[in-house]
Structure 1
Amino acid sequence: MLKFLKSSLVFGLLFSSFTAQAELPSYYKVVLLTENFPPFNMAVDDKNFARDDGIDGISTEIVREMFKRAGIGYTLSLRFPWDRLYKLTLDKPSYGLFSTTRTPEREPLFKWVGPLAKTGWVLLSAPGNNISVASLEEAGKYQIGAYKNDAVSQHLESQGLKPTNALRDQENIKKLLSGKIDLWATTDPVGRYLAKQEGVTGLNTVLRFNDAELYLAMNKDTPDEVVQRLQKALDELRAEGFVDEMTNNYL
C-alpha cells in the first residue's frame, strides 16, 4: 500500500509538471519589435526596417539568447517610428518591445522583463554653446527637442515642460546645430552615438537629470509563464557574465 502511495505521488508530481509546461503551446510565439536605438538595438545596414539577423546591438544580443534559453519562439523586426511600435505593443497580445525604459508612468501598462541595460537622461547643447542650467525647471526657458513618446520626452511633459517632439531622434541633431532648438533631451550614450554617426562630436552635457534602466516591455495579456521563463533566463545570463560581455563588446 505504501509503495502504491509513493508511486501515485511521483506520478502526480510528474503530471502536474507536465501540465504546467503544457500551458504554453509549442506554436506560441512572441512578436518582438524594436527600433534604431544604438548601441542597444539597430539595423546592421542603418536602415529603418530590418528583420532577424539584420538587427544587432547590446539588447538585441541579450534578448536573442534569453528567448533561446527560455525555449520560447519569436519573430523579430526593426521598424519606425517608435510611437507606432509603442502603440502596437500596448494593443496586441503576445507583442513585446525593446529597449523600453521602465518608468512609473509606464509601469502598469506592460509586463516587464529586465533590466537589459542602464542609461542616463541628459540635456545636450551644440558644440560651443555654453548654456548652463542646474535643473529642469531652469531648462524650461529654453527650446528643448526630444523624441516623440520616448521615455525622456514623457518625463519632461510630466514635469510641465513642452518639448518639441521629433519622429526621429536624429532630427534633433540637425535642429540643435541649426539653432532651431537650444537643448536636446536624449538618452546617454544613445545621443552621442547617433551624433557621431552624423559626424557630430563635441556636444556638451548641460544636465544629467535621471538614471534609467532598459527593459523588454510585454503586452499585458502575455501569459505570466512567458514572463517568468524569460526573466529566469535573463537572470542566469547575467550571473554567467553574458550581459556584461555583450555590453563591453559594443561600448
Structure 2
Amino acid sequence: MLKRLLLTFAGTLLVLSTAARAEVDENYSVVLLTENFPPYNMAINGKNFAQEDNIDGIAADIVREMFKRAGIKYSLTLRFPWDRIYKLALEKPDYGVFVTARLPEREQLFKWVGPIGPDDWVLLAKSDSPITLGSLEQAKQYKIGAYKGDAIAEYLTQHKLEPITALRDQENAKKLESGQIDLWASGDPAGRYLAKQEGVSGLKTVLRFNSAELFLALNKDVPDEVVQKLQAALEQMRAEGFVDDILNSYL
C-alpha cells in the first residue's frame, strides 16, 4: 500500500514537473542587450538608448530572424556603456549580449551562438592605389589614418607604426579619398560601412592583420535547448544565403 502511494505521488510530481516545464518553455524569454556598433547594431536615431524596432544593423536583423525561426521570445534593448551590458549578461539569468568576440578567456563564461559576422582589422586603400603589402612592417613607409583611442590605433602604435588619428573614424574615409593619408586602419566591415555613409566607395583591402568573429553571448543559465535551436536557425539562415543578403544590404 505504501509502495503504491509512493509511486502515485512520484507520478503526480512527474506530471506537475512536466506541466511546469512546458509552461516555462512556452513563456520563456531572453533579455537581449546590445550597443551602438555600426554596422552590426545601432540605434536608428543615433542615440545611446533604443528598444525593439528602433534598433537596426546587420547583427540586429540576423538575431531577430534567428529568434523568430527558433520560436524563442525575447526583448531587445540598446544601451551604453558596453561594460555595463556585458556585466549584466554575465551575471543575470536568461540575459544575452551581442555582438562580441569569442575570445579564449571568455569561452567558459557564456553559451555562444554564431558566428554572426567577422570583425577583422584591415588596411584600406583607394581602389586605384598601387600599394601592395605582405606584412604590417611594410606599411611603415605610408601615412596611416586611424581612430583616436581605438584598439586598432593602439595596436599600430605598439608595433612602432605612427598612425595619424582622427576623432571620428569616418573622417578617415574622406582623408583617404583626398590623399591626406595613404591607408586607413579600420575594422571590416565597419570601415566600409562608415565610408559608404560618407559617400566614399570602392575601397580595397591591402592587408588583413587581425581576424576575429562576432557572436551572441548568452548567460550560462540559458537552457541548452534554447541555444541549440538558435544555432540551428542561424545555420539554416546562412545556408539559405539570408546572412550574406543582410550583410550586403548594409555594405
- Structure 1, unmatched stretches of 5+, are 1-14
Q: How does 1:80-229 map to 2 (within 5 A)?
A: 80-124=80-124, 134-136=134-136, 145=146, 156=155, 171-174=168-171, 185-198=185-198, 205=205, 207-229=207-229
TM normalised by structure 1 equals 0.66
SS of residue in 1 equivalent to 2:231: helix
C-alpha distance after superposition, 1:116-139 (max 9, x if no partner) = 223532145799x99986545677
- 1:87 and 1:49 mapped to 2: Cα distance? 17
User: Contact 2:134 / 2:207 at 8 angstroms: preserved in 1?
Assistant: yes
User: Contact 1:83 / 1:148 at 8 angstroms: preserved in 2?
Assistant: no
User: Contact 2:147 / 2:169 at 8 angstroms: preserved in 1?
Assistant: yes
- Structure 2, unmatched stretches of 5+, are 1-14, 176-180
- 1:175 and 1:69 mapped to 2: Cα distance? 39
Q: Return closer, same or farther for 1:96/1:147 CA change in 2, 3 Å cut-off.
A: farther
- 1:174 and 1:216 mapped to 2: Cα distance? 30
SS of residue in 2 equivalent to 1:108: coil
SS of residue in 1 equivalent to 2:98: strand
TM normalised by structure 2 equals 0.66
Q: Which moved more, 1:69-78 or 1:44-53?
A: 44-53
Aligned partner of 2:243 in structure 1 is 243
- Give the CA deviation at 1:20: 6.4
Q: Which amino acid aligns with 2:44?
A: V
- 2:147 and 2:86 mapped to 1: Cα distance? 16
Aligned partner of 2:35 in structure 1 is 34
User: Contact 1:111 / 1:219 at 8 angstroms: preserved in 2?
Assistant: yes
Aligned partner of 1:9 in structure 2 is none
Aligned partner of 1:51 in structure 2 is 51
- 1:130 and 1:243 mapped to 2: Cα distance? 33
Q: Return closer, same or farther for 1:120/1:241 CA change in 2, 3 Å cut-off.
A: same
- 1:216 and 1:58 mapped to 2: Cα distance? 13
- 2:63 and 2:27 mapped to 1: Cα distance? 19
- Give the CA deviation at 1:232: 1.9
Q: Percent identity?
A: 54
Higher Cα Rg: structure 1 or 2?
A: 2
- 1:17 and 1:245 mapped to 2: Cα distance? 41
User: Contact 1:83 / 1:149 at 8 angstroms: preserved in 2?
Assistant: no
